[in-house]
Every structure is written in structure tokens, then in C-alpha cells.
Amino acid sequence: MLNLSFRHLDIDRLSPFRGLHIPGEGEVERYMRKITPELLQSVKSHLLVRRTPNKLLALVQLNTGFRLS
């Protein structure tokens, strides 16, 4: 993102993070389920019957694609 900003703003400078190395990055792989319409429907159905304070927030996220970040 920083490099893209530098290019867009015509700043002739390299990113200060270009030489940064994170030990162990990319070494560990974890299984991640594929998100299917059936899985989304299952999650929505589960949320609709639960009585939790975060239920509406989770449903908004599922229906709009917004992220909390």
C-alpha cells in the first residue's frame, strides 16, 4: 500500500519495510473451509434462532460483506 501511495503521489522513495522479514511466514498452512452458499445459509439460520447481542451485527456482515476492521 505504501509503494502504491508513493507511486500515486509521485514520491521517489522506496518503502522502509522492503527488507522486513517475518520469521516463519508462509511455513504453516491451515485448512480453511470453502465458503459456499449452503454454508452461508446455515450460518444465517443458526444466527436467526440464537438470542445473542452480536446476532444483528453478524447478520449485517453476512448480508453486506462489510468487515469489522
pTM exceeds 0.85: no
For residue 44, which amino acid is it? K
- Residue with the larger pLDDT of the pair 17 and 23: 23
Write the pLDDT tens digit of every residue in 46-67. 888 988 888 888 888 888 877 7
CA distances from 19 to 15, 26, 28, 30 (A): 9, 16, 21, 26
CB distance 8 to 23 below 8 Å:
no
* Structural contact between residues 28 and 10, judged by C-beta atoms closer than 8 angstroms: no
**34 touches 21 (CB < 8 A):** no
